A and B are shown apart, each in its own frame.
Chain A
């Protein structure tokens, strides 16, 4: 049975059983709430709901879990745009342009972000429905060399994130790489940089680090001016559809970012943050006006949100087709499938097309529900800006603490959050950009681990790398990305000289 037929079968099941729709509505709502509160993430929401799905049918359980997943990734943009604090780690790239844009027009930023989320989600979803099989096979082509090459490509794009002071940008990236090295080395099982804290044996968890660097730092920076009279953001109307002039010139970014997101999603263990960083830099590098990025540029918001939502659809592909999850949340979903006695993989598509269909349909429906719900509720969310900051910040601080503690159910991570908040504050105060640090932190594990695995498998020889076309292409793209700004500057200089 082809993907479309399965999808239609799922749609008919949802129409026949309105309970599924109700569950999707509830799930999306819960997801948006968890996503929009800094510190609380979709993964947390899903782990909380997972035990309840033991008792209900697989169709119900998976629908509600997928709805939470979709809602949470999209919900992160609300606080990213309105408060410059990412609601989930995956929406931190949305802060770069979303927050400056919101200074001028919060309504525009929110609608544009939500619309890009919808498009990204749908692109990822239809990729899943139409191409599950071939795409999963593509994911299997990725071995250690490919992951290594992708990590290096990711590091190359740091060039466009370093900001004005190149040296400080690169230093920040190096700090990120070092932070990523803390913990037990998976190849030699030696613990590194833990300084006797056994809690660090597993390395730093992503959430407390990123929330400390972004949320805590932002709060501390804002506290300096909290008693000064600042101009309030003017709240404009939030239309249901983005105006045409807002979308002008973002079509290409929308499509490429969605595709980047889908592809990254398919690859196990890469994740939303990397996807949105890649899409954002790609958009910036190929843009006609890269200097506008970071000042509230439409493409910046579009790139980040389209990419991180496309990851969801992408990540479901290998989970369903070969039983290998693409990110944290899909690995929980995989557990939910197994709980109901459903073994993911090629067999599932033939033996239980109805369940697969419901998963497909629930994902697409959840995306549409997410769009309508987010914009419907926007009026309420925008009111958040009316709350005085001296009331709002303590609440957010509490939410971050709770989020940090529950990532691993221990208080140690709250300390990590505070420590990284202080580090972030110090860095920001001294004009070190944070994004390169995040990039380094997120990628260092991937690069190192895959490189060392490759070295073991090939007896220390680099040569097999040259037999891997995908890896070579990725490396070439990375190098191109790294030197593109320099080349462009040279060209501009020549032009100026000749003019």
Chain B
């Protein structure tokens, strides 16, 4: 396999060389003969990095595997597949495999235990991992080891109700919940991150809601559409389809500023609540991966992020709120999460 690619590469270089020399000869032969001999080394150095991003030696020398911890076709999966489609590794490609289960930790652990050669990546949800670190299902030093490469998406939390719901604004909902503590039911996925965020929301708005855990996003949406639960607590990508079809009203979004594809939905901040929450969906590599590979991957992902086609697909088709978080910021943010969430651990346990 390697021999074949080596052969292919030399062939490519030969061809470019031939093309160069050909055009040179066709034009007025103004290049001195000396530089002609230097051409091959120059071509070899610049060919794989046309955009100015220099690839580390021999990377990637094989297909890059992106482990997606969620089922094929799910939102996160589409994000990973979009990256795989847009990313440019020259001769190599990125392939997604789905390893599901364990609230998304099983796939991540596969990546965690892989060879640190940068050929195995995984989709990372640091907020969700932070909760699992605190409640003991993931090891404490996860974020010290796992290398968080970059995050192109800050998928912010939203709260929505169905179109026929009596509360059509955040104020209505909060006013009702204030008078009737514990009566309004909130559907969310699992008892991890979403539950904690709902608890955080309750603390910050001073009302008491009833959080009901469901096992996946489909069930929560069915429960809200069917009237079994009053409010849907979900990331923006989950509520966007129903916002577009007007089957649900999105009451508020937990972002710093309004989200482009939910432009008429106010933020909690506008309503006077310091509630900003969501998931920095991004990518991670195996602990021990060399720094130059990590930097290279970050640059490559940034290149995809700067592609307007990708941004349009993220925002308008998938409903992902695009916000760039680079390697250093992403690492820092992940480490910080554990401390920020710590106070919620006890509250959640007693809820």
Q: Which residues of A come within 8 Å of B, CB atoms?
A: 46-47, 50-51, 54, 139-144, 183-184, 186-189, 191, 198-199, 201-203, 205, 268-269, 318, 322-325, 328, 331-336, 338-339, 341, 343-347, 408-410, 449, 453, 456-457
Nearest to B189 among chain A residues (CB) is A186
B48 at interface, CB cutoff 8 A: no
Task: Indicate whether A189 sits within 8 Å of B135 (C-beta atoms), given known contacts A344-B241, A409-B97.
Answer: yes
Q: Provide the B42-78 mask, 1 if CB < 8 A to any CB of A, else 0.
A: 0000000000000000000000000100011110011
Chain A residues, CB < 8 A from B203: none
B192 at interface, CB cutoff 8 A: yes
Q: Which residues of B come within 8 Å of A, CB atoms?
A: 67, 71-74, 77-78, 81, 85, 97-103, 105-106, 109-110, 132, 135, 137, 185, 190-192, 210-215, 218-219, 221-223, 225-229, 241-242, 244-245, 247, 316-318
A341 to B244, CA, bound (A): 12
Chain A residues, CB < 8 A from B109: 198
A333 to B211, CA, bound (A): 30
A269 to B73, CA, bound (A): 16
Nearest to A203 among chain B residues (CB) is B101
| CB pair B223 A143 closer than 8 Å | yes
| CB pair B102 A339 closer than 8 Å | no
Chain B residues, CB < 8 A from A336: 73
| CB pair A331 B223 closer than 8 Å | no
| CB pair A341 B317 closer than 8 Å | yes
A339 to B132, CA, bound (A): 31
Chain A nearest CB, measured from B306 CB (Å): 21
Contact partner of A202 among B97, B106, B242, CB < 8 A? B106
Chain B residues, CB < 8 A from A199: 106
| CB pair B214 A322 closer than 8 Å | no
Q: 4 new A-B pairs (CB below 8 Å) besides A186-B213, A187-B213, A347-B244? A: A184-B137, A189-B132, A333-B73, A335-B77
Listed A/B pairs (16) with beta-carbon separation below 8 Å = A142-B222, A143-B226, A144-B228, A186-B215, A201-B101, A202-B101, A205-B101, A269-B215, A322-B247, A338-B78, A341-B316, A343-B244, A345-B242, A346-B247, A347-B245, A408-B98
Give the most central of B105, B218, B242: most A CB within 10 Å.
B218
| CB pair B137 A50 closer than 8 Å | no
Chain A nearest CB, measured from B109 CB (Å): 6
Chain B nearest CB, measured from A43 CB (Å): 8
Chain A residues, CB < 8 A from B85: 54
Contact partner of A140 among B135, B210, B226, CB < 8 A? B226
Chain A residues, CB < 8 A from B135: 189
A339 to B74, CA, bound (A): 11
Chain A residues, CB < 8 A from B210: 456-457
Task: Indicate whether A331 sits within 8 Å of B73 (C-beta atoms), given known contacts A188-B191, A201-B102, A324-B222.
Answer: yes
A332 to B77, CA, bound (A): 10
A417 to B76, CA, bound (A): 28
Task: Indicate whether A331 sits within 8 Å of B191 (C-beta atoms), given known contacts A140-B226, A201-B105.
Answer: no
Chain A residues, CB < 8 A from B316: 341
Chain B nearest CB, measured from A434 CB (Å): 24
Chain A residues, CB < 8 A from B137: 184, 189, 191, 201
Task: Indicate whether A408 sits within 8 Å of B101 (C-beta atoms), given known contacts A331-B218, A344-B241, A346-B247.
Answer: yes
Chain B nearest CB, measured from A392 CB (Å): 30
| CB pair A198 B106 closer than 8 Å | yes
A412 to B112, CA, bound (A): 16
A143 to B222, CA, bound (A): 8
Contact partner of A269 among B190, B191, B219, CB < 8 A? B219
Nearest to B212 among chain A residues (CB) is A457
Task: Indicate whether A346 sits within 8 Å of B222 (C-beta atoms), given known contacts A202-B106, A331-B74, A457-B185.
Answer: no
A324 to B74, CA, bound (A): 12
A333 to B227, CA, bound (A): 26
Chain A residues, CB < 8 A from B245: 343, 345-347
Contact partner of B72 among A144, A205, A268, A335, CB < 8 A? A335
Task: Indicate whether A268 sits within 8 Å of B218 (C-beta atoms), given known contacts A331-B71, A332-B73, A453-B213.
Answer: yes
The 9 residue pairs across chains A and B that have the minimum distance between CB atoms? A202-B101, A335-B73, A201-B102, A140-B226, A143-B228, A202-B102, A332-B73, A347-B245, A409-B97
Contact partner of A142 among B190, B214, B226, B242, CB < 8 A? B226
Give the most central of A140, A142, A144, A334: most B CB within 10 Å.
A140
Chain B residues, CB < 8 A from A339: 78, 317
Contact partner of B212 among A268, A323, A324, A453, CB < 8 A? A453
A346 to B77, CA, bound (A): 24
Chain B residues, CB < 8 A from A187: 191, 213
| CB pair B191 A338 closer than 8 Å | no
Chain A nearest CB, measured from B79 CB (Å): 11
A54 to B77, CA, bound (A): 14
Nearest to A319 among chain B residues (CB) is B218
Contact partner of A456 among B103, B212, B242, CB < 8 A? B212
A230 to B242, CA, bound (A): 61
Contact partner of B190 among A186, A323, A334, A408, CB < 8 A? A186
Chain B nearest CB, measured from A343 CB (Å): 5
| CB pair A408 B81 closer than 8 Å | no
Chain B nearest CB, measured from A61 CB (Å): 12
Chain B residues, CB < 8 A from A346: 245, 247
Chain B nearest CB, measured from A145 CB (Å): 9
Chain A nearest CB, measured from B49 CB (Å): 27
| CB pair A323 B73 closer than 8 Å | no
A408 to B67, CA, bound (A): 10
Chain A nearest CB, measured from B214 CB (Å): 7
Chain B residues, CB < 8 A from A341: 316-317
Nearest to B223 among chain A residues (CB) is A143
| CB pair A201 B218 closer than 8 Å | no
Chain A residues, CB < 8 A from B317: 338-339, 341
Chain A residues, CB < 8 A from B72: 46-47, 50, 332, 335
Chain A nearest CB, measured from B98 CB (Å): 7
| CB pair B191 A186 closer than 8 Å | yes
A268 to B221, CA, bound (A): 11
Chain B nearest CB, measured from A311 CB (Å): 16
Task: Indicate whether A324 sits within 8 Å of B221 (C-beta atoms), given known contacts A47-B98, A198-B106, A343-B245.
Answer: yes
| CB pair A189 B191 closer than 8 Å | yes
A202 to B212, CA, bound (A): 21
| CB pair A139 B73 closer than 8 Å | no
Contact partner of B225 among A189, A202, A322, A457, CB < 8 A? A322
Contact partner of A345 among B185, B212, B241, CB < 8 A? B241
Nearest to B185 among chain A residues (CB) is A457
Chain B nearest CB, measured from A469 CB (Å): 15
Chain B residues, CB < 8 A from A344: 241
Chain B nearest CB, measured from A332 CB (Å): 4
Chain A residues, CB < 8 A from B78: 335, 338-339
A71 to B197, CA, bound (A): 44
A183 to B101, CA, bound (A): 9
Chain B residues, CB < 8 A from A205: 101
A205 to B101, CA, bound (A): 9
Contact partner of A408 among B73, B100, B211, CB < 8 A? B100
Chain A residues, CB < 8 A from B192: 189
| CB pair A323 B106 closer than 8 Å | no
Chain B nearest CB, measured from A107 CB (Å): 38
A36 to B73, CA, bound (A): 24
| CB pair A323 B241 closer than 8 Å | yes
Chain A residues, CB < 8 A from B228: 143-144, 457
